[in-house]
Amino acid sequence: MKKYVPIVAVLVFVKLLIHLIGNQNYGFHRDELLHLSVSEHLAWGYFEFPPFIAFMGKIAHFIFGYSLSGIRFFSTLAGIGILIICCFIARELGGKRNAVLLAGISVLAFLPFYRNHLLFQPVAFDQFFWTLGFYFLVKYFNTKQIKFLVFLGITFGIGLMNKYTILIWGLGVFIGLLFYDKGKLFKNKWLYISGIISFLIFLPNIIWQVNHHFPLILHLKKLKESQLDANGTFDFVIEQIKHPFTFSISFIGLFAYFRDANLKKYKIFGVATVVIFGTMWIMESKAYYFFAIYPILFAAGVVKIEKLLEKKPKWNYVVAAVLLLPALPFLPLAIPVLPIKEYVNYSDSKKLKDGRVELPSDYADMFGWEEQVKLVDSLYQSLPLKEKENCMIWAENYGEAGALEILGKKYHLPNPVCSHGSFWTWGTGKTDGTFCISIGNEKGAVDRVFGDVQLVKIFKHKYAIDEENNIPVYLCRKPKISLNKKWPLLEKYVFE
């Protein structure tokens, strides 16, 4: 593999350069603010996800502070790792120079990876752990060295601590192994030792779930009601074929695992792909959950193509061009490489009657948070000292609360109070809530808690998502009820 390092290095440089440009633009996404907020409250689990992202957030903050590009660099590193491992897998499957090149090009050309590897979310790390797990399986098949089964167990365990969707990966691999060497691997004690290692790594989160009445179940139920039920029967399938050139590579790879004379010994990966796809489709999963499977398919696809073009090797460069060039015009839609005004013109974004601009939801969710925090800070600083000391800042959702928690630090604002998701677990703060600044909560909600409610401003932002436009900011006094006493009763409503 050493002689192919220059090729991989150039591909890594290209991906890194694109992300260095895009990662610094716009602002934190609401989900990033949540993930950074949980890193301020380290635990073995959270209502929305396992703890890995919180530990990564703590490390990122230690190194970079709350620098936008610094925080996002960790997701980008996971994406770079995926590119490198995809190239390594192609080599392990028997590919040579052109296969290694096309493997990296396939990752570069797959546009959804840019968004996935931009945002500080569990998604990028989930894709990394899937790809790494597949790599260790390939290495075990090729070398029969037990250490790769151990590495597989460690990878699966850490992956479980990052995102529960890797359980579906585990199901696919388990069924796939039945087709490898007539299932003889199940007679190997090290496969079970590997499973025990995974379980032990994951055990602290299991205990946390038990102690908190399995909030995962409530979260999945609400996620299905609010998002997944809106998916059409074939939406999951349609999303997979929206990128026809890279999809073609993956489909060739899937076919090769079943039919190619040199690759069908790795049939496990084809079986795993079919099982994972079918399971996610039946479960009405989000389409991007399945994107983690593509590197293992890209690797087989490019090895097959290299073999087909063995007598005409220069055609591999044509394949590379066909993969990469059509993706370039869509790059600004996948990652914010353009300043916002240039992006609006480039994408011909819809202008709304109220002067706002309609952006894709992920981009829109990067705007407005700094301005919200500045508004709350200006109101907080205007309060008399006694009211400041007893002031509670009450946010309606995790985006607003995350902005106040993370961006509010430079203004020395008190941590927000919010009953949404994991924020509920952190309680009602250190003050008695005699005075309150409310952001995002509707009039009816604040009237039920406070007797004196004054509307300060209706917040609007040109680029922000609809949910964060026309939201009220209230100054509240004379509490009618004690939030401290009412708080435990709100647990069942944390995802409302």
Over residues 204-220, the mean pLDDT reads 89
Backbone angles phi, psi at 288, to 5 degrees: -70, -15
Asked if the model's pLDDT at residue 496 lies above 80, the reply is: no
What is the sign, positive or negative, of the torsion defined by CA atoms of 56, 59, 64, 66? positive
What is the sign, positive or negative, of the torsion defined by CA atoms of 24, 26, 30, 31? negative
Q: What CA–CA distance (Å, rounded) separates 144 from 262?
A: 18
**Residue of 396, 391, 368 whose CA lies nearest to 380:** 391
The predicted structure's pLDDT at residue 227: 58
Q: What CA–CA distance (Å, rounded) separates 350 from 344?
A: 8
Q: What CA–CA distance (Å, rounded) separates 482 from 488?
A: 12
Question: Please, what is the end-to-end C-alpha distance for the chain in angstroms?
Answer: 52
The vertex-67 CA angle with 119 and 113, nearest 5°, equals 20
Residue that has been written with the tokens 């633009």 in this structure: 25
Tell me the pTM.
0.94
Asked if the model's pLDDT at residue 224 lies above 70, the reply is: no
Q: How many CB atoms lie within 10 A of CB 180?
A: 20
The predicted structure's pLDDT at residue 353: 80
DSSP label at residue 489: G
The predicted structure's pLDDT at residue 380: 94
Asked if the model's pLDDT at residue 228 lies above 70, the reply is: no
The predicted structure's pLDDT at residue 278: 95
Torsion, Cα 376 378 381 384, to 10 degrees, reads -90
| Segment 348-368, tens digit of pLDDT | 988 888 889 999 999 999 999
**Helix, strand and coil percent figures for the chain, each rounded to 5:** 65, 5, 25
The lowest-confidence range among 9-23, 210-224, 265-279, 331-345 is 210-224
Mean pLDDT, the chain, whole residue set: 93
What is the sign, positive or negative, of the torsion defined by CA atoms of 433, 367, 495, 164? negative
| Segment 137-192, tens digit of pLDDT | 999 999 999 999 999 999 999 999 999 999 999 999 999 999 998 888 999 999 99
| Segment 440-482, tens digit of pLDDT | 999 999 999 999 999 999 999 999 999 999 999 999 999 988 8
